[in-house]
Amino acid sequence: MSVVDRQEWDVVVVGAGGAGLRAAIDARERGARTAVICKSLFGKAHTVMAEGGIAAAMANVNEHDNWQVHFRDTMRGGKFLNQWRMAELHAQEAPDRVWELETWGALFDRTKAGKISQRNFGGHEYPRLAHVGDRTGLELIRTLQQKIVSLQQEDFRETGDYESRLKVFQECTVTRVLKDGSRVSGVFAYERETGRFFVLEAPAVVIATGGIGKSFKVTSNSWEYTGDGHALALLAGAPLLNMEFVQFHPTGMVWPPSVKGILVTESVRGDGGVLRNSDGKRFMFDYVPDVFKEKYAESEEEGDRWYEDPDNNRRPPELLPRDEVARAINSEVKAGRGSPHGGVFLDVSTRMPAEVIRRRLPSMYHQFKELADVDITAEAMEVGPTCHYVMGGIAVESDTAAARGVPGLFAAGEVAGGMHGSNRLGGNSLSDLLVFGRRAGWHAAEYSAALAFERPAVDDVQVDTAAAEALRPFSAEGPAPGAEDGRPPENPYTLHQELQQTMNDLVGIIRREGEMEQALEKLADLRVRARRAGVEGHRQFNPGWHLALDLRNMLLVSECVARAALERTESRGGHTREDHPTMDRTWRNINLLCRLVDPTGGLAATDPVRGQIDLSRETTEPIRPDLLALFEKEELVKYLAEEELYE
Amino acid sequence: MSSYEARFKVWRGDVKGGGLEDFKVEVNEGEVVLDIIHRLQSTQAPDLAVRWNCKAGKCGSCSAEINGRPRLMCMTRMSVFTPEETITVTPLRAFPVVRDLVTDVGFNYTKAREVPAFVPPEGVGPGEYRMMQEDVDRSQEFRKCIECFLCQDTCHVVRDHEENKAAFAGPRFLMRVAELDMHPLDAAAESGLDRKKTAQDEHGLGYCNITKCCTEVCPEGIKITDNALIPLKERAVDRKYDPLVWLGSKIRRRSS
Amino acid sequence: MATGTEPHLNSGGVRTGTRAAIDAPHLRTDRWWLAPAATAAGLLAFIVYSTWRAFANADYYSAPYVSPFYSPCLAENCKNMPSGPNADLFGSWWGISPAVIILIFPLGFRLTCYYYRKAYYRGFWASPPACAVAEPHKKYTGETRFPLILQNIHRYFFYAAILVAGVLTYDTVLSFRDTHENWGHMGLGTVVFLVNITLIWAYTISCHSCRHIVGGKLKHFSKHPVRYKAWQFVGKLNARHMLLAWASLVSVALADFYVYLLASGAFDDPRFF
């Protein structure tokens, strides 16, 4: 069929956010010729949206901090469902990853002694987040971007070509991971600008595509977050882990409608902001769950003292992990104590002088001023939960970031599952990107080097199939676009909106069995209609076409979320069941794995009830005793089943 | 909640040609120009090409020219226009057009590569960097840059003179030079690289005639001209036009 | 598809062939021309006035006030100003107005000032007339070659401007004497001079070169706390450099005009004590 341009690389990284770039840097530094593919321009990835900071136990602000405390906080935040080895590696390596950024030119805010300053955040026992005002993600991505450029400058000096060893293919989308037998052999992609197809042949592919938020209506995520990496892995035969855990960030903007969902950083609360309902009450004091009772203040006075004297007071409950705060806000609004636009009030104006607010929260000040006409130094913000992060993702080996079951496939960052268990702590995301981005790049480079003389071959049939699949929206199944046949082509934008509404309403922050069954039916219907998604125009920078292709991924991932959420009959972290409102210790060590029904990666029209996803359970590996010993017995009994405790 | 029908003119076409196309489109309270462009996409022009990402003024993707002024579409509220006004949206006019509102911003990536990277100081390992807040403040301001390239687009040096593109890095990347030169631990000088001098000799600082359009359009409110470009010009003067400073540095170098 | 598809003019600038084919040199709908027009008008008015006054060689001294345009007065043909800013450095060969000798310095300072450069590049030279409005010139080399490369000597004019401001400060001190050179006088002219010298100093100190010299050139503020404070102070003034540039321009003209009114006998200086 079509002649498709092909290039050979050692490692291909899909995604140019924090994890992807960190992986690419490591792979290139280990000698692998590395290609990075990203949907947006280089440096625009969703990582720029991260505001609060990078969690790393550097103990610059509170000397008692160390990796063990960080590990404990992470496990508690994830309600002990975390892949514990990942949490361990993450806590141990995060400080090195942050310090390394400084050697690449990053400029974090400083302590008086000239070290990296660290701030408080929900769920972290000590001030732990390295930050730059409230634009830490921007600093992270720019630093990595500039490090890539500096490596390219090195290559230019040596070879006369900036892109000889490290190249960024910006504004390109990968639609399929290609395989040679069970092993990865490359990727199939198209250039958004021209619509041209190309194949990058490589023995190792690192997926670092981020999350899935664009399947939900109210989200803090950008258009890129269509679950591409999740879908690519599924289609390549890799399982997804615990997809029911979706984090709703407690504080998104709620007004005006066009900005609904845009993130209001947790630093607002870390720096002293408080949540109030329409009665003016700091309601979070009523929502401290039993497992956290000893760790949080019981009175406003104590909570307020904590900011100045954290060693002798307990933290205010506004700084509970995100899932708790999001649920609390949801309940207040439901009980009729919400703000005029259906949120609650987040107030810093009465807590800090205007000057301090502008200095510590510059982009929040700017964001509310510009988008909502609200001066946060003078009045309270209105906030409500917004879909923010998916804890579930590609099942990976903890140490190598290798995707389970597909040799040559690696995953890091939000797209990888396990690290955060059922709920991620703020600040742990950026450190996750760096720690596992590096590990993915490292092991991908090693894996690729081992195959240097027996590179997996790219199968022409797969390339042709992928090309045909990508072109289908131009000649949607049934009638050609526009032709009258009783079945007009579907508008991809409409399908997308319906999908978002479905996921938001039926598989949202509070879930019920009946609604999720309804959601699965709706998804089945959308899946059928999506096959007829048709587009106008040609292949050159055609957003309608791009969306039609992304729909496949969103539908696959949404089905995973809905199926897994229906299966897990308990409430834990980012998964709240109204019909099973409590955490069930017997679920503590159960992972839910999603796999594609058709193991060949085909997506033929399937039975609507059964769908495209197979769900299976597995029991997790017991937590290593020395790690378990970091916790008090009284705490562990709240999480672990009896038999786990006495093993 | 008031909605109305607005009149839009959106440039459509590609490198072969194109023109302003008229649209009538619904506008609701609190919306920004990007919302309207999205509404056009989902209802009237599904293949209308536009770049965007975060829709919160943080990524700098949705740069365009609205009523002739370079702006981020996501940060331009519809309430700044009257309902009677016709709003014209065009792609950035300093760069080659790709399609509709999307331009080829490769110029900026080329220039980014021409600025030598941060040079880590020798003998200072990871974790040993000590910098005072007052010493990083200046460079931190420049690192707020979201690379929307509006300053590069509006700068008349390249906007009005295509031929200057080869010699001139543009405000964004001159600011990058300033950022590195003011970085408290950048060891470029020790490695033999004089950023002050190369700012003028290699990045075209002399082309800047400080007419401040870069500062005017910066959505991050960075004082590009006053805090980066002029200080950089003064630093270049130290190196190239100030015999006193030159002499002083010669003597100091000899004595140390 | 698109209505009124335009061919490429390919005549350079925003009409370069690869760019979006839009014929209009700009699409701004606001009154973008107002700022450059007002700037040009303001500067022109000052140029006309100051040229007249500088070459008039008359009505610049009315004890105890000397016009800032003529201070210091450095030729033999200067009016006698008892203990005033006279110094016959040039001697008798200097035939034209002595103002011309000294005005070179404040003129040079303002001509190379980073704010005035913006103002006249935009207002007079339309380079550019306003942001995103195409400039009319075919070629542009900015400040890379002669004569505009000379803008780089701004700091030397800054040093000179400090000396001139020092002399004007001296003149202001002298304005506390009465016509018989006795101290303890204050008239409306004294107030005019005080306002003027304050603005002159504020403008001079707020200069970008000054900001660089006092501290901007440093890499580590933390090692120079005093210069850091000075830099911060100058920085605050510098943020108002444009305002101070205009205010001091107007005040210096007014001070001169006030002296002119007194010297030409059109007005008597109201005396407070």
Q: What CATH number does residue A375 fall under?
A: 3.90.700.10
Measured distance CA(A153)–CA(A162) in Å, rounded: 6
Q: Which of A334, A359, A387 is the last residue of a domain?
A: A387
Could you tell me the CATH number of the domain that includes residue A645?
3.50.50.60
Residues of A in contact with B107 (CB under 8 A): none
The size of chain A, in residues, is 647
- HSE toward the beta carbon, residue A258, CA cutoff 13 A: 27
Buried b (16+ CB within 10 A) or exposed e, A4-40: beeeebbbbbbbbbbbbbbbbbbbbbbebbbbbbbbb
Q: Work out the average pLDDT over B107-126.
A: 97
By three-state DSSP, how is residue B26 classified? strand
Phi and psi torsions of A430, nearest 5° = -65, -40
Task: Please determine, for residue B129, whether its predicted confidence score (pLDDT) is greater than 80.
Answer: yes
Q: Do A489 and A400 share a domain, yes or no?
A: yes
B215 pLDDT more than 90:
yes
Residues contacting residue A404 through CB under 8 Å, at least 6 positions apart:
A238, A239, A395, A396, A397
Q: Which chains touch C (3 or more CB pairs under 8 A)?
A: B
Counting as low any pLDDT under 70, the low residues of chain A are 1-2, 476-487, 601-609, 646-647
Say whether both A453 and A590 belong to one domain.
yes
Whole-number CA gyration radius for chain A: 24
Pairing assessment for the beta strands B97-99 and B102-103 based on DSSP bridges = antiparallel
Q: Is the peptide bond between A608 and the residue preceding it cis, with omega within 30 degrees of 0?
A: no
Strand partners, B102: B99
Q: Which two tokens stand for residue B247?
A: 């002499």
A:B CB pairs within 8 Å: 172
Q: What is the pLDDT of residues C1-39, one digit of tens each?
A: 444 455 566 788 999 999 999 999 999 999 999 999 999
- Angstrom distances, CA of residue A108 to CA of A54, A161, B185: 10, 32, 13
C-alpha of C89 from chain center: 25
Q: Tell me which residue of A87, A336, A243, A331 sits closest to A615, measured CA to CA.
A: A243
- A252 shares a domain with A239: no
Q: Which of B102, B70, B75, B103 is nearest to B88 (CA)?
A: B70
CA atoms within 13 A on the CB side of B232: 38
Q: Which helix (H) or strand (E) holds C46?
A: helix C34-56
- DSSP run (H or E) holding C196: helix C188-205
Q: What is the ipTM of this complex?
A: 0.95
Look at C13 and B160 and tell me if their CB atoms are within 8 Å: yes
Pick from A87, A95, A103: nearest CA to A65: A95
* Residues A239, A544: Cα–Cα separation, whole Å: 29
If one counts every other C-beta atom within 10 angstroms of the C-beta of residue A447, the result is: 22
Distance between B211 CA and the closest CA of chain A, angstroms:
25
Q: Structural domain tally of chain A? A: 2
C-beta atoms of B93 and C132 within 8 A: yes
User: Taking a C-beta distance cutoff of 8 angstroms, is the pair A401, A20 a contact?
Assistant: no
Q: How far apart are CA B14 and CA C50, in angstroms?
A: 53
Per-residue confidence (pLDDT) for residue C3, from 0 to 100: 45
* Domain of A60, in residue numbers: 4-245+391-647
User: Which 3 state secondary structure label does DSSP give A234?
Assistant: helix
Full DSSP string of A2-51: ---EEEE-SEEEE--SHHHHHHHHHHHHTT--EEEEESS-TT-SGGGG--
Residues 6+ apart with CB under 8 A from A406: A177, A179, A182, A183, A184, A233, A236, A237, A238
For residue A582, the tally of other CB atoms under 10 A from its CB is 10
**Do the Cβ atoms of A233 and A245 come closer than 8 Å?**
no
In whole angstroms, give the CA distance from residue C70 to residue C79. 10
For residue A603, the model assigns a pLDDT of: 67
Q: What is the Cα–Cα distance from A535 to A550, expressed in whole angstroms?
A: 13
Q: Residue C259, SS3?
A: helix
**CB contacts, 8 Å: B134 with chain C:** 221-222, 228
* A417 and A366 within one domain: no
Q: Quote the strand ranges of chain C, DSSP E.
A: 61-62, 65-66
Cβ of residue B50 closer than 8 Å to a chain A Cβ:
yes
Predicted confidence at residue B256, as pLDDT, reads: 44
Q: What is the pTM of this model?
A: 0.94
Q: What pLDDT sits at residue C1? A: 41
Q: Do A349 and A473 have their domain in common?
A: no
Copy the structure tokens of residue B126.
Answer: 């990871």
pLDDT for A244 equals 97
Give residue-wise pLDDT tens across range B154-185.
Answer: 999 999 999 999 999 999 999 999 999 999 99
How far is it, in rounded angstroms, from Cα B241 to Cα C155? 10
Ordered by where they begin, the domains of chain B are 4-103 (3.10.20.30), 106-255 (1.10.1060.10)
A207, A15 Cβ separation under 8 angstroms? yes
Neighbouring C-beta atoms of residue C23, cutoff 10 Å:
13
Q: Residue B96 — φ and ψ, nearest 5°?
A: -60, 140
A413 plus A379 within the same structural domain:
no
Give residue-wise pLDDT tens across range A124-153.
999 999 999 889 999 999 999 999 999 999
The answer to whether residues A514 and A592 belong to one domain is yes
CB atoms within 10 A of CB A287: 18
Active site residue A322: yes
Query: For residue B86, what are the β-bridge partners?
Result: B7
Confidence class for position B132, pLDDT limits 50, 70, 90 = very high
Inter-residue contact A626 to A605 (CB < 8 Å) = no
Looking up tokens 């992470």, which residue turns up? A74
Give the DSSP per-residue string, A295-344.
Answer: GB-SSHHHHHHHHH-TTTSPBPGGGS-HHHHHHHHHHHHHTT---TTSSE
* Phi, psi angle pair for B239, to nearest 5°: -80, -40
C-beta of residue A470 within 8 angstroms of C-beta of residue A533: no
pLDDT at C6: 56
Same domain for A54 and A78?
yes
Of A360, A387, A414, which residue constitutes the final position of a domain?
A387
Q: How far apart are CA A592 and CA A244, in angstroms?
A: 9
Q: Which of residues 158-177 of B touch A (CB under 8 A)?
A: none
Contact C12 B161 (CB under 8 A): yes
Strand partners, B88: B9
Chain centroid to CA B42: how far?
Answer: 30
**Domain identity same for A252 and A206:** no
| Distances, alpha carbon C230 to alpha carbons A70, A121, C200, C215, C237, in Å | 43, 37, 18, 7, 11
Q: In chain C, positions 112-151, which contact chain B (CB-CB < 8 Å)?
A: 114, 117-118, 121-122, 127-128, 131-135, 137, 139-144, 148-149
Nearest CA distance, B68 vs chain C (angstrom):
4
Number of residues written out for chain B: 256
**Domain match, A180 and A315 both:** no
Q: Which of A292, A333, A366 is nearest to A123 (CA)?
A: A292
Are the beta carbons of A549 and A562 closer than 8 angstroms? no
Q: Which of A322, A424, A527, A585 is catalytic?
A: A322
Which chain B residue has its CA at the smallest distance from C213's CA?
A: B234
Q: N- to C-terminal Cα distance for chain B?
A: 71
Chain A residues whose beta carbon lies within 8 Å of the beta carbon of residue B57: 366-367, 370-371
Residues on chain B touching A138 (C-beta within 8 angstroms)? 58, 143-144, 146
Can you tell me which residue has the tokens 């289908």?
A: A472
Better-predicted residue by pLDDT, A487 or C111: C111
Which of B90, B133, B197, B209 is the mutation pick for testing C, counting most C CBs within 10 A?
Answer: B209
The string of pLDDT tens digits covering residues C38-55 is 999 999 999 999 999 999
Domain boundary among A354, A387, A420: A387
* Residue whose tokens read 């902001």: A273
In chain C, residues with a C-beta closer than 8 Å to the C-beta of B189 are: none
